Structures are given as structure tokens and as C-alpha cells.
Chain A
Amino acid sequence: MDLHKFGIKFFAVDGQRIDILKLIPLYHRWIQHNALQELLIDVADYSHVPAGPGVMLIAHEGNYALDETGHERGVVYYSKRRLSGELPERFARVAQRALTAARLMSADAELDGTLNVPGNRLQFFANDRLLAPNTDAAYAELEPAFKAFLERLYSGAPYRLARETDPRERLSVTVQADTEAPLETLLARLS
């Protein structure tokens, strides 16, 4: 499957402790200082919407957010444009971007250490129902590449998968790995 539009969210622990409005100046600073290796455009504030996309950083190739969907906060990146490489490579690239953002946020003085992303729980979602609807067949097509990516990310450690069951929702899978690893380690495995 030639999937390009998808995202990965790394869940935070105790995410409700974060003052989400502090992300607005933080993202603006990232834009000012080119903190991420892509074209950053603007900040979109949806903090007034409960369980929504939170505060977003709009980039050219994809969007970053401290997403609040399902009342579970987590750092998400999803790609909007074509990605190069094979599918496992694309998964790795999107995960790298989310992890990089999570690492920067966790270390930012503005958030005062309130963001804790252990990296051992993530959600993958295909953001393209035309190509990848939430069906067994579509998942079966993606599964080998996805598992290859997880193998790399968790370095062979065991994990459990749970798929979204509502066929109207996006094809998505939540992954819980048995062991935690620092974000730097996860990033190193993907680099």
C-alpha cells in the first residue's frame, strides 16, 4: 500500500498536568528559531475544543500537536504530503518527527517538566480512508511494514496491539510496549 498520509501519537503520562496554552509561545519560538527540520508555518489554537487537536503547529509537510483526542494527551505528528522511501522508512520518519517534538517539549522550561512521554505507548492512524479504510484487508496490507517498524522502534521487545473497531473511524492501532526506553534511545533506533 502506497500510504503517505498517516500519523503517530506518543501518549503522555499524566497529560492533564500540562497547561496547554503554554504551547502557544513555545511553538512560536520553534518557528522563530527553526527548531525542527521542516518548514513551519503557523500555530493553530484549538484549546477551547474539548478532546480536540489541542494546540497545533502547522508545518508544510505535516502537523504537530499536543493532541487531546479521547481525553488522552499525546504528542502527534501526521504527514500531509508525499513521503519518500518504502513504507517502514516512512513510518520511521513520521515517528522521528513526533519523538523529536516530544523530546523538545519535555525539555522546555516553559512546560516546567510537566510533559512526560515514556514512548512505550503509541497510536498509529492512517489518515486516508480512500486508500486505507478501517478494514481487515487494509490492515493486513499495512501490517508487515508496520510490524517491521515496531521491531526497529522497540528493538525486539514485546508489545501488544489493539485496533480501532468502529469502521467509520480511521484505520488505527494502539501499541503498548512492555518496556520503556528514553526518547533519545527510540530516536537513535530510528535514525
Chain B
Amino acid sequence: MPVDLAREIDVFEGQIELKKQGKIEDKLFAETRLRRGAYGQRYDNGQRHDGIAHRSLPFPTPTTKGPETLWDAPGMQRIKIPFGGLNPDQMDVLADVAEEYSDAICHITTRQDVQLHYVHIEDTPDVMRRLASVGITTREACGNSVRNVTACTLAGVCRCEVFDVTPYAKATAYHLLGHPDTQEMGRKFKIAFSGCKTSSCGLTNIHDLGFIARTWQENGVTRRGFEVVVGGGLGAVPYDAKLFDAAVPEEEILPLAQATCRVFARLGEKRNRGRARMKFLIEKLGFDEFRRLVLEERRILPPDRRWTDYLKDIERYHETPTQAPSKLDLANLDPEFEAWRATNVYPQRQSGYVVATVTLPLGDITSWQLRQLANVARRYVGDNVRATVEQNLILRWVSEGDLPALYAELKRLDLALGGAGKIEDVVACPGTDTCKLGIAASRGLAAVLHERLVERQKNGAIEPAVRDLHIKMSGCFNSCGQHHLADIGFYGVSRKVGGATVPHFRVLMGGEWENNGATYGLTIGAVPSKRIPEFIDHVTQRYVAERQSGERFKSYVTRIGKKALKEMVDAFSSVPPYAVDRSLYSDWRDPREFTISDITTGECAGEVVPQIQFDLQAAEQRNFEAQVYLEQGEFQKADEAAYQSMLIAARGLVRTQFWDLPDEPDPIAAEFKTRFYDTGLFQSPDAGQYAGGKFALYLLNRHADKARTFTADKARHLVEEAQLFIEAAYGCQQRMSEERARALASLDLPAATTDATAAAEATA
């Protein structure tokens, strides 16, 4: 396991311990765990409506792990899988941790992540360590951070891609992971790569930052680059991404991403979470001004070799198949196999190879299946497995002649379900099953539709035009199920009927999955959850009966118009009185009488915690390590760790004014001296509280001591001094934030504006 990663997890474990001892405040710990992917789950406030009444869940530990989030309440662990890329060893470990810490199910999300549910917070460091041992991190999987970087699942093997975007997606994911420029964002930030403009896999249109591969000629040489789009996003009101630049050369994508993150972090909304995504910032500033600021930021970014280092070998980037290419023997093929092949196999651009999709109902796979699938992958495709945004797994580089044997293996594992990407391959977010914001049971509905449609397909009762439709659903308007992009999409709402609450889904029609998710569906009206299956039957029958030759669903919806669509929806909107039919008053696969009272505050991201608080916490952690060294008699190590702890705290303070401070002792000490010691800012006006400038000198003197000798006494003193220095830094930070609040009150301006202006001035 990389040393840095191991240390980060140790630090997180230390923070868990400190939180248990009540030494970290709730908001800070919540954002800390979110940035490690440890997310809350439904009922984690200890309240649950059991269908009869609200009851408290009397968890034994009184501690909390965030505002109103109980320590013992099981949570969700999100695991980032950049561009969905997995190898068999990683699959083994994912299977093991799901079995031992979760419920033996790995859930694939619509962002190519993996999620485990019902995980106890105290188990998360072990989960993280075991994942880290195979190169997987959970860092910044949630919280106000750059989320998993997604990419076309077919990248590198696609027949229509311009070039393989995989290495670019990978470089971007790791460049921005933990990068200082991404730590102060007011909300999450999503990035996607697409190998072409016309297919759907990349979905760049719904991302904060999207890269679409393209090439052009320059002085007779083919140049690689990307069309860059910004400010897309779903949510309650979806925004289309806007063209930022039609042709950004490949060497410019990392600095451009970094500059965009900086502008978003600096100017994005921090108080009103509902307006904090980048799409709102672009709206507020105006696109041209936003673009100007990003380009200006790009111009002043300190150069970084990592922007281009990875490009040296990029044209040679390739994946290694385990088997030689071969042709499928088309004689005597089993009809069942042929049906599966028709929907789940994609011929790669590399002759003799195909991609096989492993369809996962609702994105779920058991630990046993995943471990077995890892072995199948070892044999047939090696390291070439990916998670898809349609919640499936794909095996790339299958030698075509191996397909019948592969199919037999998948059948043994109950993983040979056909219909990948077809109407029965329903996509759903967690909804009320586990999500704190869920309104209706998206998974319950998805399971019912999936089973019903699979059965119909077996009986040959689904028309080909209908089978090509996509159904996607979300448990609420937040759109994690990407319902806007479906031919028929749903999101959970509720309606009052005669004093009772009835679960409903709002219907959207005519969304476009193709062209990188170019068109969002029209919202029509709401249908009671329990009537959705019959509603789908009706809509699809009408489509088959009324469509013009070759007419696609999106065109059909546009042609018949919203009024006709509304009539269709209205025909299914009635709810019989409770006394006549109670079944509509509960949700799919949940017999409790429906209530929305279990919804609590979401954790899609935590509170906005200024970076300085994390820095000071890190400084404390480092000084704690110094104390351990001291105890072990390792005096030089203790001395150095104590010194580093002061540098970390000083760097945190300086970066509130000067973001580009290099992470090296000399500039940190120099800038700290100029900005905080010489100005008197570090010294408390409250005489004696932090002993004037004395504490600042602990750092400055230690820094100046270039010929230091290391003794037990010196180390012991320095550890003490470092603790005082850190306390003084906390005091300084506290005063600065109070002063800012006072200034804002007198100006009557929102805090974010002033902060942003100050930061902008500091950076410039």
C-alpha cells in the first residue's frame, strides 16, 4: 500500500478515535468522513417510522458522527473507481469487504462507483486499508470534492471513438485527487470523458466539466485534444453543459481542469447549498465572465510537470488481452446463447475481440458472484473489467471464439442475464431503501419492472422498438438515477389523498441517452407508484400503435405533443379512497403505510468546512505522532514531526491569504513571518492568551536552526512548543473569521462574496 495512502487512513482512524472522545466537532467530522466516502444512510438520526408510529432506534453508543447522525447507525461506504476500471484482484477485495463489513452485496452506481451499505463507521478504516492494498481509494468519493471521474466504458475498444480517453481520465482523476485547488469547493464537482460526440457512454452534457475527444491538423501533424464543455448537471432543474472551447490541446486539459476548480472553489456559492453547483456560478457570473476568469486563472497557475508527464507514452497506452483473437464458430449455436449475444456482446474495433456485458439487476452483485467473476476475468480478459453508468459490469477483450465458454461460465454464476441496455435493464438510484433524501421506493419499483419485463421478453411479448427504450428512475428530484436522460424517466414525489400520503412518481418522457445525454425529458405529471407498471404498458402500446415508420420514441413524444402526453398520464393519476384499495397507500416492496417523515437532511456533501480547519487538524495529528516517537525514544523523529506540525499549521494560515504557497519549509516560514508575525496578526490582542509573538517564534527559531542536534530534551520541548503554536494558530483563525463576520455585518454583504473577493485579490 502506498505510504501516503496508509498514513491518510491512519489519520482518519485517529480522527474516529478523537471524535469518540468528543474532541472533534460534528460538522468537521461529518465533512471529514464524507471526504473519505463514508456517507450517512436513512434512519441514521435514530428515528424511523415503522408503519404504525415513529419510533426511536435506541443505539447503544451516545456519540454522533455528524449533526444528528448517530454513531452506531449503519452507513454507506462509497468507493471511487476512476472510469470504472477494475482488475480481478480489486474485484476479489471488493467482494471480501462487502461480505465482511456490509451485506455481501456490491452495488454499482450510475457514476461507475461501488457502494456498500450498512457499514459501521468503526469498520471503515479496515475497509479502506484493504481496498488501498489493491490500489483503490475512497478519498473524495463524497463531500464537497471532485467526484469519481467517469469515462465511456468502451473507451479504447469502441468502433466510433476518436481516440482512447482512458489515460486522460485516469490522469485527471489522480491529478485532482487531494489537490489543494479542489479542497475548498462549496459543492461536489463532476467530470466526464467521452471518446466521441454522438454516442451516449460519456454523458458529458450532464457534467460540471466534460471532455469530448477530437483531433485536428496542425502544421501537417495530427494533434489530439478535446472539445470542453462546462456547467452541465441534473438535479431538480437540469442544465445543459455549454461549450467552453472547441479544441483544447491535450497538454492543456489538466491545467484547465485545475483552473476551473479554482474559480469554482473561490467564487462558488458556499452558504446556500441549493445554489452551490458550478452551473449556478456560471449563471450568476455570465458565461463570458466565467470563461474569462478561468482563462485568467489558467494564465497565472504555477507550472506543474504532472500536466504533461503522463503524455509522453500516451500513444503507446494499451490494454493487454489474455487470449489471442479468434472468430466465433457460428455453427450450431444455442438459441439462449444467441439471444444473450444479441444484446450483451459488442464487437470491438480490434478484430477477433468483443466486449461482453454482465447485466446486474439494479446494479447489484453478490460477493460470491464477484469473486467468481474475478476468476472468469483472470481467465478470459485479465485486467480489463469496467463498471458502467448503466450499473452493469463489462468484460473487455474477450476473444470472440471464447464467447460460448464465457457464457457457460456466466450462467453458472447466474450472471448470464441478457437485455443489457434494453428496456428491462432498468436503472435506479437507492431511493428510500437507504437514501436519507428518498421520497419513493425507486429500487422497489425498478425491481418490479425489471422482473415483469424480463418475463415478457422471455415470452417474446416485447416489440423490438419498445425493447430499445431506456427506463431510469430516482427516488427524488435529485436525479441520481439520471431520469432526465431516459425515454421514460421517473422521480419520486408524494401526494396527499384524503388526509393520507400516497407514493407517486413524476413522469418524464423523451429524454435522450444518445449524443452524450443531449436532451432532457419533458416532465409531464405524476402517477401513483403502484400504477406505474400499467402506465408503462399503456404508453408503450400507444407508441407501437401510433409510431410512424422508423420513428423513435423521442420523436414520437415530440410529435404527439405535451397535451396528448398529459392526457396519457392523467388517465393513470387517480387514487381510489383508502377504504376501497389500501394497496396504493404503500410503496413497492415496502408494506408500511407510506410516509415522508423519514426524510432527513442529505449528505450529498457535508457542511462547508474551510480548508484551514483540516490543516489545523492535520497539524494536531502530526504533533500527536511526535509524541508517540518521543515515547518510543525516537527523538530525532519526534523533533522533526513536531517541527512539521507547526509548518502544517502555518501553511494553513498563510493559504487563507496566499493560495499558491509552495509546500516547502522555506517559503512557508518566510510567508508566515511576513504575513502573520511581522503584521502582528498571529499575536493575540488579549495579552497573555497566546503569549504575544512568542509562540510564532517557536516555529521561526526551529526553522532557522539548520545545524540542529537532536536530543531528548530538545525534542520534548519542541513537542510542547508545537502544541502551543497549534493552539495559537486556532486562536488566530478564530479571530480572523470573527473579524470577517463583523466586516460582513457592517457591509451587509453575503460572506461568500467578500471571501471570494479577498481570495481573488490574494491569488492575483
Q: Which residues of A contact B (CB under 8 A)?
A: 5, 21, 24-25, 28, 31-32, 39, 41-53, 56, 58, 60, 63, 69-70, 80-81, 127-130, 168-170
The residue of chain B having its C-beta at the shortest distance from the C-beta of A25 within the complex is B591
- Chain B residues contacting A58 (CB-CB under 8 Å) are 74, 103, 118
Q: Write the nearest CB–CB distance from A20 to chain B, whole angstroms.
A: 11
A128's nearest neighbour on chain B, judged by CB, is B100
B433 adjacent to A45 (CB under 8 Å): yes
Chain B residues closer than 8 Å to A28, beta-carbon distance? 50-51, 590-592
Which residue in chain B gives the minimum CB-CB distance to A26? B591
Given contacts A44-B117, A44-B118, A46-B364, contact A53 B105 (CB under 8 A): yes
Contact with A along B54-71 (1 / 0, CB 8 A): 000111100000000000
Smallest CB separation, A124 vs chain B (Å) = 15
Given A45-B447, A52-B105, A53-B105, do A60 and B59 touch, yes or no (CB 8 Å)?
yes
Known A5-B100, A24-B591, A58-B74: A47·B447 in contact at CB below 8 Å = yes
Contact in complex: B364, A48 (CB < 8 Å): yes
Considering only CB atoms, which chain B residue lies closest to A43 in the complex? B590
Distance in Å from the Cβ of B527 to the closest Cβ of chain A?
22
| CB of B113 within 8 Å of the partner chain | no
Q: A5-B100, A32-B51, A69-B366 are in contact. Are A168 and B105 (CB under 8 A)?
A: no
For the complex formed, measure the closest distance between the CB of B446 and the CB atoms of chain A, giving whole angstroms.
9
With both chains docked as a complex, state the minimum distance between the C-beta of B597 and any C-beta of chain A, in angstroms.
15
Chain A's nearest CB lies how many Å from the CB of B423?
16
Residue of A nearest to B95 (CB): A168
CB of B444 within 8 A of chain A? yes
Main secondary structure of the interface of B (DSSP, over half): mixed
> Smallest Cβ distance from A3 to chain B, in angstroms?
12
**Complex interface: chain A residues within 8 A of B43 (CB):** 41-42
- When A and B form their complex, what is the total count of cross-chain residue pairs whose Cβ atoms lie within 8 Å? 92
Residues of B within 8 A of A43 (CB): 590
Residue of B with least CB distance to A31: B50
Could you list which residues of chain B lie within 8 angstroms of chain A, going by C-beta atoms?
42-43, 48, 50-52, 57-60, 72-74, 92, 96, 99-100, 103-105, 117-118, 120, 126, 361-362, 364-366, 368-369, 371, 414, 433, 443-444, 447, 450-451, 589-592
Q: Find out whether the CB atom of A50 lies under 8 angstroms from the CB atom of B414.
A: yes
Q: A52, B57: Cβ atoms under 8 Å? A: no
Distance of B700 from chain A, by nearest CB (Å): 46
Roughly how many angstroms separate A33 CA and B406 CA in the complex, as a whole number? 48
Q: Which residues of A contact B591 (CB under 8 A)?
A: 24-25, 28
Q: Which residue of A lies closest to B61 (CB)?
A: A60
The 7 residue pairs across chains A and B that have the minimum distance between CB atoms: A50-B414, A25-B591, A52-B366, A48-B361, A48-B447, A32-B50, A49-B364
Tell me whether A51 and B103 are in contact (CB under 8 A): no
Contact A168 B59 (CB under 8 A): no
24 A-B Cβ contacts within 8 A? A5-B100, A32-B51, A39-B58, A41-B57, A43-B590, A44-B117, A45-B433, A45-B444, A46-B366, A48-B450, A49-B365, A50-B414, A51-B366, A51-B368, A52-B369, A53-B103, A63-B118, A69-B368, A128-B100, A129-B96, A130-B126, A168-B371, A169-B368, A170-B99
Cβ contacts under 8 Å, B59 to chain A: 39, 60
Which residue on B lies nearest to A63, using beta carbons?
Answer: B103
Nearest residue (CB) in B for A55 is B589
Distance in angstroms between the alpha carbons of A90 and B6 in the assembled complex: 33
Q: Distance (Å) between the CB of B488 and the closest chain A CB?
A: 20
B593 to chain A, nearest CB (A): 11
Q: How far is the CB of A165 from chain B (nearest CB, A)?
A: 14
B92 proximity list for chain A (CB < 8 A) = 168
The complex places the Cα of A169 from the Cα of B99 at a distance, in Å, of 10
Residue of B nearest to A129 (CB): B96
CA distance A169 to B118 in the complex (A): 21
10 new A-B contacts, CB < 8 A, other than A5-B100, A41-B74, are A24-B591, A39-B59, A42-B43, A44-B117, A45-B589, A49-B105, A49-B361, A52-B369, A60-B59, A60-B60
Cα(A58)–Cα(B59), bound, Å: 13
The reply to whether B120 and A80 form a contact with Cβ atoms under 8 Å apart is: yes
A25–B74 Cα distance when bound, in Å, is 22
Asked if A60 contacts B72 (CB within 8 A), the reply is yes
**How far apart are the CA atoms of A51 and B104 in the complex, in Å?**
11
Q: Which residues from A are CB-within-8-Å of B73?
A: 41
**B residues within 8 A CB of A24?**
589-591
Give the docked Cα–Cα distance between A130 and B99 (Å): 13
**With A and B bound together, what is the CA distance between A42 and B590 in angstroms?**
11
Q: What chain A residues lie within 8 Å of B371 (beta carbons)?
A: 168-169
> Which of B72, B73, B104, B105 has the most chain A CB atoms closer than 10 A to its own CB?
B104
Q: Closest residue to A67 on the B side, CB-wise?
A: B104
Nearest-CB residue, chain A, relative to B118 = A58
Residues of B within 8 A of A53 (CB): 103-105, 366
Chain A's nearest CB lies how many Å from the CB of B443?
Answer: 8
Which residues of chain A have C-beta atoms less than 8 A from B590's C-beta? 24, 28, 43
Q: State how many angstroms separate the Cβ of B440 from the closest Cβ of chain A.
A: 15
A21-B589, A28-B591, A60-B59 known; A49 vs B366 contact (CB < 8 Å): yes
Chain A: minimal CB distance from B63 (Å): 15
Tell me the complex Cα distance, A41–B59, Å.
Answer: 10
Chain A residues within an 8 Å CB radius of B361? 48-49
Q: How far is the CB of B704 from chain A (nearest CB, A)?
A: 47
Chain A, Cβ-Cβ closest to B454: A48
Closest CB of chain A to B60's CB: distance in Å? 8
Q: Whole-angstrom distance from the CB of A173 to the nearest CB of chain B?
A: 17
**A70 CB contacts on chain B under 8 angstroms:** 368
A52 touches B58 (CB 8 A): no
Nearest CB in chain B to that of A50: its residue? B414
Residues of B within 8 A of A47 (CB): 447
A21 to B50, CA, bound (A): 18
